[in-house]
Amino acid sequence: MEITSTEAQNNFGRYLKLAWFEDIIITKNGKKTVVVRRYEEPGKDVSVVAEKAEIYFWDQEKITYEDFLMLSESSENRYEYIDGEVYLLASPTYDHQCIIMEISNVLYNYFKGKKCRPLTSPFDVTLSVSDNKNVVQPDMIVICDTENINEKGRYTGVPTLVLEVLSDSTQKKDLLKKLNLYLQAGISEYWIVNPWRKEVYLYCFAELDIREYRVYQSSDTIKSLYFEGLSVPLEQLFS
């Protein structure tokens, strides 16, 4: 992120927080002069940490939604923003993408010619809970309110179905934080794919509560509780 020396002087505290996630390059008279960078302890292998599917800065201060937008719009990295906390996302694994491809093929065929549309990440979804805005990039979503795509191609609605594939570093967030966020935001159905146990956990939400919860294993076939006739055999998913 590049800012002028005037911006740095007027909003130093703001950019100091953003330096947790991106180097802040300060320019003067059009020339790059100073870099503000997050300090790393000597001997820490940053390259190993950066290869993980997600990094969460546990000791960083929360930032505002406006600052998050500034960060994400000026960066080539992918971020999520939940309850004021920032998550850095990296490229998914081969197995992760194979699972997404299998599910996306089923969803594409099921929804072909219907109003609802399946979409895959990266695609920002902004969800409001108690007037607090959160920005996530689920692995897959199904949206039935396509009228909420604005003139910039941004989605401003609430998906009907959300799907996440767990990874070593995202499972706590997907199983806890996102579960609660999706429930509170008004999403109807949440699928969680566990690639190690070869299981799928399906939550059906209604009236801000879990109406039904199912676990699919082995040779089971996942059956949507919201979309009649939508099903995915687990053997196909994990083949």
> Tell me: the pLDDT tens digits for 135-159?
999 999 999 999 999 998 999 999 9
Give percent above pLDDT 90 in the chain.
56
Same domain, yes or no: 8 and 66: yes
SS3 sequence of the chain: CEEEHHHHHHCHHHHHHHCCCCCEEEEECCEEEEEECCCCCCCCCHHHHHCCCEEECCCCCCCCHHHHHHHHHCCCCEEEEECCEEEEECCCCHHHHHHHHHHHHHHHHHHCCCCCEEEECCCCEEEEECCEEEEECCCEEEECCHHHECCCCCECCCCCEEEEECCCCCHHHHHHHHHHHHHHHCCCEEEEEECCCCEEEEEEEECCEEEEEEEECCCCEEECCCCCCCEEEHHHHCC
Same domain, yes or no: 213 and 106: yes
Quote the pLDDT of residue 222: 96
Same domain, yes or no: 76 and 17: yes
Q: How confident is the model at residue 53 (pLDDT cuts 50, 70, 90)?
A: very low
Quote the pLDDT of residue 47: 38
Quote the pLDDT of residue 52: 44
Of 23, 56, 89, which residue sits at a domain end?
Answer: 89
Of 89, 117, 139, which residue sits at a domain end?
Answer: 89
Higher pLDDT pick, 30 / 141: 141
Residue range 55-66: mean pLDDT, rounded: 66
Residue 38's nearest CA partner among 28, 24, 26, 48 is 24
Same domain, yes or no: 164 and 138: yes
Neighbours of 133 (CB within 10 A): 15
Quote the pLDDT of residue 9: 63
Q: Which domain holds residue 75?
A: 2-89
Same domain, yes or no: 111 and 201: yes
Contact partners, residue 210, CB within 8 Å, separation at least 6: 183, 203, 204
How far apart CA 203 and CA 223 sit, in angstroms, is 11
User: What's the CATH code of the domain at 165?
Assistant: 3.90.1570.10
Structurally, how many domains does the chain consist of?
2
Residue range 158-176: mean pLDDT, rounded: 91
Residue 80's nearest CA partner among 149, 182, 160 is 182
Of 70, 89, 108, which residue sits at a domain end?
Answer: 89
Same domain, yes or no: 66 and 143: no
Contact partners, residue 57, CB within 8 Å, separation at least 6: 20, 21, 86
Same domain, yes or no: 166 and 191: yes
Whether residue 59 has pLDDT greater than 50: no
Give percent above pLDDT 70 in the chain.
81
Same domain, yes or no: 17 and 103: no
Q: How confident is the model at residue 65 (pLDDT cuts 50, 70, 90)?
A: very high
Same domain, yes or no: 54 and 122: no
Same domain, yes or no: 85 and 98: no
What is the length of the chain? Answer: 239
Same domain, yes or no: 80 and 101: no
Distances (CA, A) of 102 to 36, 157, 181, 186: 43, 26, 26, 26
**Is the model's pTM score more than 0.75?**
yes
Structure tokens of 174?
């997907």
